[in-house]
Amino acid sequence: MKSYVAAEDRYEKIQYRRCGKSGLQLPLLSLGLWHNFGNTTSFENSRQLLRTAFDHGITHFDLANNYGPPYGSAEKNFGKIYKEDFQSYRDELLISTKAGWDMWPGPYGNFGSRKYLIASLDQSLKRMGLEYVDIFYHHRPDPDTPLEETMGALDQIVRQGKALYVGISQYTADQTARAALILKKLGTPFIIHQPRYNMFDRWVENGLLDTLQQEGLGSIVFSPLEQGILTSKYLQGIPADSRAAIEGGYLDKNKITPRVLEQVKALNKIAESRGQALAQMAIAWLLKDQRVTSVLIGVSKVSQLHDNIAALDHLEFSREELLAIAAILKQEEQ
């Protein structure tokens, strides 16, 4: 494969939003490296996804220590691609990683201790061949470790020059406010929260988004398509090659109930009337809220990436469309 030169017009192809009250701006779409950058997928396909994303102004690549499979392989493969393709563009990139879920055996390879977080980031930097990451996240709350210890580790990581900013993921509104208070006192550049959010999973609307706004924090939301449910894939039932059909996979087929399928079909009709695919409308629906800084997408094909990017061509909703969508989603809550 010939050496990579980024598209000259890459910054004309996407919009950016300020991340809370920080000086950092994120592209409206960011590329997540969870499923499709490990050792079980094509290395060249992973490279093409990264190249295509950056050519379209997607400057943010999001990883975690245990992304793969196997654990660590997404960071290692990203590191190879970075060295060959993106090293000269380092100052144009936002690279993030996380720790908080299980990574290695024993009591020091999980959750939120100072020992685990600092050791994990050291390993991540080595795998990726980086001196620092732009954002380092605590990946989930730790019910046993004092929050002061976890936040203190994030502060130490910034002071050591291993991360420019820090964030958290999957924290509740109250936990977020407590973390923000601790980090503010420490003077740590805490700027972002990464929650799960989509049309069917709207827990962030029960206080978290308000807390982020109050604390001056941005958000980057993951699972915007509810693991494929908010696409055309399940309009006719469960395909044999889908995530839901794989035993022990990441999507429980029991979540795809007849009621959910009815909702998906009704939402798809609205999307069609907007000239969009359902997945595109689902992304646009998230971005209608300015408190959502960026939507984290996961794709396995370049064509899917292009389709997701096309969602940005139509972000506006009429009042009638929003009311119709709300009525459909309300069925889920009854």
pLDDT confidence of residue 243? 56
Q: How many CA atoms lie within 13 A of 251 on its CB side?
A: 21
pLDDT confidence of residue 246? 54
Region 72-96 average pLDDT: 98
pLDDT in tens, 199-249: 999 999 999 999 999 999 999 999 999 999 999 988 876 665 555 555 555
Question: What's CA 122's distance to the chain center, in Å?
Answer: 22
| The residue to which tokens 């003077």 are assigned | 187
Which CB contacts under 8 angstroms, 24+ apart, belong to 140-144? 140/100, 140/101, 140/111, 140/169, 140/170, 140/171, 141/112, 141/170, 141/171, 141/172, 141/175, 142/100, 142/111, 142/112, 142/113, 144/111
List the structure tokens of 226: 């509810």
DSSP 180-233: HHHHHHHT--EEEEE-B-BTTB-GGGTTHHHHHHHHT-EEEEB-TTGGGTTSGG
| Secondary structure letter of residue 237 according to DSSP | S
DSSP 62-83: E--TT-TTTTTHHHHHHHHHII
Contact call for residues 190 and 179 (beta carbons, < 8 A): yes
pLDDT band at 334 (very low <50, low <70, confident <90, very high): very low
pLDDT in tens, 293-330: 999 999 999 999 999 999 999 999 999 999 999 999 98
Question: Closest Cα to residue 44, out of 4, 5, 13?
Answer: 4
**227 backbone dihedrals φ, ψ, rounded to 5°:** 55, 35
The domain locations on the chain are: 10-225+289-300
pLDDT in tens, 274-290: 999 999 999 999 999 99
**Report field, pTM of the whole predicted structure over 0.75:** yes
pLDDT confidence of residue 333? 46
Residue 16 has pLDDT above 70, yes or no: yes
pLDDT band at 252 (very low <50, low <70, confident <90, very high): low
**Cα gap 206→198, rounded to integer Å:** 13
pLDDT confidence of residue 255? 78
**Cα gap 294→217, rounded to integer Å:** 12
pLDDT in tens, 91-132: 999 999 999 999 999 999 999 999 999 999 999 999 999 999
Could you tell me how many helices (H) and strands (E) the chain has, helices first?
Answer: 10, 10
Question: Closest Cα to residue 224, out of 297, 307, 126?
Answer: 297
**Cα gap 255→238, rounded to integer Å:** 11
Architecture of domain 10-225+289-300: Alpha-Beta Barrel (3.20)
